[in-house]
Chains A and B, each alone.
Chain A
Amino acid sequence: MLEVINVSAGYGRGDVIHDISFTAVRGEIYLLLGTNGAGKTTTFRVVTGILPLSSGRVVIEGVDLWKKPEKAKMMVGYLPEGERVYPNLSVYKNLLFFSRIYGVPEGQINELLKEFGLYEHRDKKAGELSRGLRKRLALARALLHDPEVLVLDEPFSNLDVPSVMELRERIIEMLKEEKIVLFSTHILSELQHFEGVNCRVGIIRDGKLILEEKLENLISLLRSVEVVLTVTNKALALRVLKEKGYNTRAEGRNIVVSVSSYASEVPEITSILAENGVGLLQVRPKEVPLEKLFMELSRGNRTHRRKHSTT
C-alpha cells in the first residue's frame, strides 16, 4: 500500500502542495487529475522521494520514504513527464547504468529490451530515437527493478496514438501483476479508457486534493444527464416534477430535468406528466460535457466532495 499522509511541500518559496492525503492499494490505479500547475508533478516528486517534505509522511509498503529512503525507493519506479533519458548514451547503456544503481543483473537488460521492442535499437544513442521509442525506453528503465509502485507523470503527453494505446495496455497489464500505479494527466478524455479497471481519481487544484472518487462513480457523475422536455403545459409540468422531487428549470420553451440515469428515469417522468395531463411533445438528453464539469471542479464552482475508502 502507498500512503500519502498530510503532505505539504514546495520549492523553497512556500508550499506548492498543501496537506495532501491519499492511499493507493495493490492492483489499483490512482489517477491524479488536474490542470497544468495544479500540483500533480510536485505531488509525484514527493511520492518518489525527489522533493523534500515540509510536513507529512509518505509510507510505501510500511516503509517511511524519508526515514528509510534506500529501502523505500527500491520499491518505486518513476517516469517523469517527457522522455527523461540520457540522449548521449546508447539505449543499452541507459539501462545498464540504472541496472547497476538498482543492483539488477545485467542479463535482464536484453530481455527487457526485447519486451519493449527496443532490442534492435540497443546500440543507438537514445537521443536518436523517436519520441515514442524514447518514452518506451524511459518506461523500461522505470520497470527495470520490478518496482511495486509505478509513478507516471503525464505519461500520454506528446505521444502518437499507437504509443498511447500500447502504454495504456502496459499500465493495465501491471495491475494484473498486483502493482500500484499512480499516474497523472490533464487530459480528461483519458479517463474513459480506464473504465472497468480498479481505478480511483483524485482531482487536484491549487495544490489541494479537492475530490477523490472511484473512477466508475466519477464517470457516472460526469455522465449524469440533463433531459430536455418539450411539453404542452410548461408551468404545470415544472410544478408536478418539482413536487416529485426532480431538479428542474425552465430553459426557453423547454424544461430541463436532471436525472442520474436516462434509461430508468425518463419513463417515470413520462408517466408522471401523462398522469397530470401534460402532453409530452419531445424528449432528448442534454449531456453535461466532461470538460465543463472538470473546469467547474477545478475552479471550485462545485462544492461536491466525496471521500471513499480504499477498499
Chain B
Amino acid sequence: MRPEMKALVEKEWWGLRDNYSQLFSGIGMIIFITALSVLVPPTPQSSYAVYHQITSNPELFGVSGEIVRSLGRWVFNFGAMVAQIPVVFGITIYIVIYSYLANSILSEKTNRTIEVLFSTSLHESEIIASKMIMGAFLGIGLVILAFLINTMGIEAGFHHYAGTWWMPTRSYLFLMVLFSGAFSALAFPVALVVGMRGSKVLMASGTFVVFIPIGVLIFASRFSATDYVRTMLLIAIAGAGLAVLLTLLSRRIINRLAFITN
C-alpha cells in the first residue's frame, strides 16, 4: 500500500473516530436492541407461539423441549434473540455502513475537498478504496460486536433460567454472521453509486433498501422457523449477489468527472 493511500485510510479513521455520533449510533443501536430483547416482558400468547416454534425446530434453536420449559416466559426473548434480532442487526449494520460511506463520498464532493485530493498524486480509485477499507473495518467490527453482545445476552439469560450454557446452532451463526455480512457488503456499492451520482434526496432513497428485508421479516413471521431461516438465507444470497453486481457496475461510474461539480 502506498504511503499516500495509508494516509487516506488514516484520515477516514480520524473522521469516523472524531464523528462520535455516527460511530456510536451503530454501537448504541446494537446495545439497545439487545437490551430490549432481553428485558421486554412477553405476553403469554407470544411465549406460547415461540415455545411451539422452538420445540418443533431444534436444528435452529438447538434445545430440547425440557430445557425450553425451564426457560419459562424468557423463552420469547430467547426465540427473538436467536431468530429475529440477528436480522435486525444486519439491517442496522447496513444503515450504519451505508450512511458512513455515502456521507463520506458525498461530503467530499459537495465540500469540494475531492478537488484538493485530485490536485495531489492520488488516484480516484485510491480515494474510493480508502473509504471502502474503512467501511469494511467498520462492518466487520460491528458484526463482531453484534455477535458478541447478542450471544452473551443469550448465554446470560439461558444460564440464568436453564442453569446451563447454550450451544449456538449453525442457523444462528448463519443469521448472525452471514446475513449481517451480506447486508454490510450490499451497503458498499449502494453507497458508492448514491454518493457519487447522488443528491441528498437520492442518498435518503438508498436507506429504503432496508425495507426489503424488513418487509420480508414481517411477512416471514407467519412461516415456520425453518422456512423463515431459508427465506433469510435467500435474502442474504440475493444481497451478496446484488453487492457483487453493483460493485462491477459501479466500476464504470468511478471517473473523475463524476466527482467534479461544474
Report B-chain residues with C-beta under 8 Å of the C-beta of A49: 118-119
A93: Cβ under 8 A from any B Cβ? yes
Question: Is there an interface contact between A100 and B10, defined as CB atoms closer than 8 Å?
Answer: yes
Report B-chain residues with C-beta under 8 Å of the C-beta of A93: 11, 14
Residue of A11, A16, A101 with highest tally of chain B CB at under 10 A = A101
* Closest A-B pairs by Cβ, 6 of them: A100-B7, A78-B119, A70-B121, A48-B119, A50-B118, A97-B11
CB nearest neighbor in B for A85: B113
Contact residue among A45, A73, A89 (Cβ-Cβ distance under 8 Å from B11): A89
Report B-chain residues with C-beta under 8 Å of the C-beta of A70: 121
Report A-chain residues with C-beta under 8 Å of the C-beta of B121: 69-70, 73-74, 101
B4: Cβ under 8 A from any A Cβ? yes
Question: Is there an interface contact between B15 and A84, defined as CB atoms closer than 8 Å?
Answer: no
- CB of B4, distance to nearest CB on chain A (Å): 5
Binds A, one of B51-59, B195-203, B213-221, B254-262: B254-262
Report A-chain residues with C-beta under 8 Å of the C-beta of B3: 100, 103
The count of residues in chain A whose C-beta lies closer than 8 Å to any C-beta of chain B is 34
Beta-carbon contacts under 8 Å, A76-119 to B: 76, 78, 80, 82, 84-90, 93, 97-98, 100-103
In Å, the complex CA distance between A89 and B8 comes to 13
Q: Given A86-B11, A97-B11, A11 and B120 touching (CB < 8 A)?
A: no
A214: Cβ under 8 A from any B Cβ? no
Report B-chain residues with C-beta under 8 Å of the C-beta of A76: 119
Report A-chain residues with C-beta under 8 Å of the C-beta of B115: 45, 50, 78, 80, 84
- What would be 12 A-B contacts, judged by CB atoms less than 8 Å apart? A48-B118, A49-B118, A50-B115, A73-B121, A82-B112, A84-B111, A87-B111, A88-B19, A89-B11, A97-B10, A97-B11, A97-B14
12 A-B pairs besides A78-B119, A80-B112 with CB distance below 8 A are A16-B262, A50-B118, A50-B256, A51-B256, A69-B121, A80-B116, A84-B113, A86-B15, A93-B11, A100-B7, A101-B121, A125-B18
In Å, the complex CA distance between A49 and B10 comes to 24
The count of residues in chain B whose C-beta lies closer than 8 Å to any C-beta of chain A is 25
A185: Cβ under 8 A from any B Cβ? no
In Å, the complex CA distance between A86 and B16 comes to 12
- CB of B11, distance to nearest CB on chain A (Å): 5
- CB of B116, distance to nearest CB on chain A (Å): 5
A52: Cβ under 8 A from any B Cβ? yes
Question: Is there an interface contact between A89 and B119, defined as CB atoms closer than 8 Å?
Answer: no
A179: Cβ under 8 A from any B Cβ? no
For the A-B complex, the count of residue pairs with Cβ-Cβ distances under 8 Å equals: 77
Report A-chain residues with C-beta under 8 Å of the C-beta of B118: 48-50
Question: Is there an interface contact between A141 and B116, defined as CB atoms closer than 8 Å?
Answer: yes
B6: Cβ under 8 A from any A Cβ? yes
A12: Cβ under 8 A from any B Cβ? yes
CB nearest neighbor in A for B261: A11
A42: Cβ under 8 A from any B Cβ? yes
B122: Cβ under 8 A from any A Cβ? yes
CB nearest neighbor in A for B259: A50
Encode contact with B along A246-279: 1 for CB under 8 Å, 0 otherwise: 0000000000000000000000000000000000
Question: Is there an interface contact between A51 and B18, defined as CB atoms closer than 8 Å?
Answer: no
Q: Given A50-B115, A80-B115, A45 and B260 touching (CB < 8 A)?
A: yes
Report B-chain residues with C-beta under 8 Å of the C-beta of A89: 11, 14-15, 18
Beta-carbon contacts under 8 Å, A215-253 to B: none
- CB of A130, distance to nearest CB on chain B (Å): 17
Report A-chain residues with C-beta under 8 Å of the C-beta of B6: 100
Question: Is there an interface contact between B112 and A84, defined as CB atoms closer than 8 Å?
Answer: yes
In Å, the complex CA distance between A101 and B119 comes to 11
CB nearest neighbor in B for A93: B14
Beta-carbon contacts under 8 Å, B1-28 to A: 3-4, 6-8, 10-11, 14-15, 18-19
- CB of B197, distance to nearest CB on chain A (Å): 13
Contact residue among A42, A69, A80 (Cβ-Cβ distance under 8 Å from B262): A42
- CB of A31, distance to nearest CB on chain B (Å): 20
